[in-house]
Chains A and B, each alone.
Chain A
Amino acid sequence: MKNKKIKSILIANRGEIAVRIAKTAKKMGIKAVGVRTQKEPDAFYLSEMDYTLDFPEQEKGAIPEFLDIENLVLLAKKNKISALHPGYGYLSENARLAVRCTEEGIIFIGPTPRVIQDLGDKVIAKEIAAKGKVPMFGGSAGVVETLEDAQKIAGQIGYPLIIKACSGGGGRGMRIVRCAKELRQMYNSAVSEAQTAFNDPRVFIEKYLENPKHIEVQIVADIFGNVLHLGERECSIQRKHQKLLEEAPSPALNEDLRKKMTSAAVALAKAAGYVSLGTVEFLLDKDKNFYFMEMNTRVQVEHPVTEMITGLDLIELQIRIANGEALPLTQKDVKLNGWAIECRINAEDVQANFSPCTGTITALRLPQGKGIRIDQGVVVGSKITPFFDSMIAKLITHGANRSETIAKTFEALRQFQVRGIKTTIPFAKAVMNNEVFQSGNFDTSFIEKDLTSVVFREKDEELFAALLSINNYLEQNAPAQHQVENHDAWTLKNKIYNM
């Protein structure tokens, strides 16, 4: 690295993204420093770091560690760490963290505080988009202060409409209102969720598009004004606005539309004065009109699909830009090659409405092969606690074309086994096996409308289950010969831990 300013990075995050960042840092000869919390002191991500630092002891009821700006910045400063990477979620789109880093002489790996602030405020973001001539939905001109204002705007634009938190993102702080009767409850709950989740009760209103496609464009921009796009990602497989499965490229785009959308994204990034890695999210309607939704000023969970088809390391680009280097490539050099799919493997009980699942992973079998990548945050023995996000790993597959990649993903999911917790693997299998998904002609209503079963059942699976229960019942009720205590190593470990 020329002019090496970044010698070490404090990774202010956990799980698979902390592992992912550490991997690139180490490859670049930069020291990866992890933060150990008391909630998961022997988490897997810590074993992938060059150094780990203990987060200072907290009083009960204190803000979560990875949201504690002052202590994180202090940790980096005290240990003379040159840069801080926020990952995604947590403080990744918090301008205050970027400000505090700069004040303490720590390089923040991300955009400038002003850009984070501007794009994090949906109302200002829309002004920027207008400057870049990016298509948008109609709605309130700015913040909707009262229920009466909300009713007035609803009268102008009609239903359905969507109430969004000005500081929202990632699918949170949003309410869809389909009729006037619902407006009061939805407005109040949107404001209260915005207040608790983002500490900012301001909301605005937009026309709501029923069942759009969700497509986003990856942007990368350096401090010298070079702005490139790395193609699009298809993120329409969602549940309650949470993405579950992504792919690149999108089967909905042809070359012409791809050109329009990526150009709009580049124009928006330029209008915002954007520097670093970022993502412009769009909604696409049935007539292939697209509308700007938001720009995410951080690395996305689904960045690996772009890495697979471009052959680029996005975290490396992000670090180099933060280090003041020029982009090592031009738009001409960006070649999109083949197809990639990412399945988020979450600790969730798909059959019980995707409710979060806690427990200890007692066995883990990962798929292997050419074009298969696993970004994992857990290993055998990892505890899944209610303190953190339910995502435990990501399966990313790459093939020559879409149908080959779907087949490869399905086979990889069949090999992917987790014992101890329920996961979204049977769900991802159901998606791969679905004809509508395979046709590429789906939108955000896919799970609701097209997915007949949320889990894929292998042949005779139900029979296996019935036989297993009958077999066990017969064993239990057979005359006892000897009693064996049924304790595996992980149960014992937990017992000792709780003693």
Chain B
Amino acid sequence: MINNNPKKLIAFDINSTKEIELSLIADNKYIFTPKKDEKVIDIKLSGSLEEQEDVNQEYQVEFSQTDDGFTMMTVNGTSYPVEILANRQNEYELLVNGVGYSFSIETPFSMQRKKMLLAQAKESPVMQLKAPIPGTVVEVLVQAGDVVKSGDTLLVLEAMKMQNAILANIKGRIRKIYVKQGDSVSQRDLLIEIERE
């Protein structure tokens, strides 16, 4: 069965610092053969949306379960163990060979919107600092109103008996502090807001 769907999809590398480091556009052309669940995704690999016509390569993708519990993904003859860690709507967190990757699947339209939002966030005057790991706040070294520069230690977080310094990532003024000494925080809890100067 060939399913020809004109809708294009883009895999967008969430962790990439560049706007698009790798974009994959699937023509969503599936080929199912009834014997084994073999799928062919027609992929166009390109550096940006405009250059999408440049590369047009076909990847043969297969999945198999091993007896010892791994999911192997084979692409054009190469096999790696893969794992989907999390999937929230169009966002994916995956492991290939134990290395983590984050992708969001976008249509050309949502991609444009995403790029716009990213650009806006970059210019946003307030930077929110979140807890990178769950832990206990050992010490808060700044007060609201303090002027800090990138690299300054703002607070110390203790997790698994290790003390971790939380540093400022921009130059600015402390707008608000959401935690105090002794507080337990979960991952991604808001710690401090810095106003860009």
Instruction: Give A contacts to B, CB under 8 Å.
Output: 172, 185, 189, 192-193, 197, 240, 349, 351-353, 355-356, 362-365, 380, 386, 390, 417-419, 422-423, 425-426, 455-474, 476
Contact = CB atoms under 8 A, between A and B. Distances in A.
A44 B94 CA distance: 28
Interface in B148-172: 153, 156, 159-164
Task: From A351, A365, A460, A467, name the one whose CB has the most chain B CB atoms within 10 angstroms.
Answer: A467
A457 B82 CA distance: 13
A287 B59 CA distance: 54
29 contacts: A185-B141, A197-B161, A352-B132, A352-B133, A353-B133, A355-B132, A386-B160, A390-B160, A417-B70, A417-B81, A419-B70, A422-B98, A426-B97, A455-B99, A461-B97, A463-B22, A463-B75, A464-B96, A466-B24, A467-B11, A468-B73, A468-B84, A469-B11, A469-B94, A470-B24, A470-B105, A472-B92, A473-B90, A474-B28
B107 to A, nearest CB: 11
Contacts of A197: 161
Contact of B160 (A185, A353, A356, A471): A356
Nearest to A459: B78
Given A419-B69, A464-B82, A466-B11, A473 B100 contact: no
Most buried by A among B61, B73, B87, B105: B105
Contacts of A356: 133, 159-160
Contacts of B61: 467, 471
Contacts of A463: 22, 24, 45, 59, 75
Contacts of A464: 73, 75, 80, 82, 96
Contacts of B81: 417, 419
The 8 closest A-B pairs by CB, nearest first: A363-B69, A465-B101, A466-B11, A469-B92, A469-B103, A473-B105, A355-B133, A466-B24
A461 B80 contact: yes
A90 B103 CA distance: 41
B70 A458 contact: no
Contacts of B103: 465-466, 469-470
Interface of B: 9, 11, 13, 22, 24, 26, 28, 30, 39, 41, 43, 45, 59, 61, 66, 68-70, 73, 75, 78, 80-84, 87, 90, 92, 94-101, 103, 105, 132-133, 138-139, 141, 153, 156, 159-164
Contact of B99 (A418, A426, A472): A426
Contacts of B132: 352-353, 355
A355 B133 CA distance: 7
Nearest to A472: B84
Most buried by B among A192, A457, A469, A476: A469
A460 B45 CA distance: 12
Contacts, number: 140
B22 A351 contact: no
Contacts of A422: 95, 98, 100
Nearest to B163: A193
Name the residue in B28, B45, B84, B100 with the highest tally of chain A Cβ atoms < 10 Å from its Cβ.
B100
A172 B22 contact: no
A130 B96 CA distance: 52
Contacts of A474: 9, 26, 28, 30, 41
A172 B68 contact: no
A355 B131 CA distance: 12
A423 B161 contact: no
A189 B138 contact: yes
A390 B84 CA distance: 22
A465 B90 CA distance: 14
A470 B68 contact: no
Contacts of B163: 189, 193
B13 A462 contact: yes
B160 A240 contact: no
A426 B133 contact: no
A110 B105 CA distance: 58
Query: In this complex, which of B22, B95, B156 has the most chain A Cβ atoms within 10 angstroms of its Cβ?
Result: B95
Contact of B98 (A185, A352, A425): A425
Contacts of B90: 473
Nearest to B160: A356
Contacts of B153: 185
Nearest to A474: B28
Contacts of A468: 73, 82, 84, 92, 94, 96
Contacts of A460: 75, 78
Contacts of B141: 185
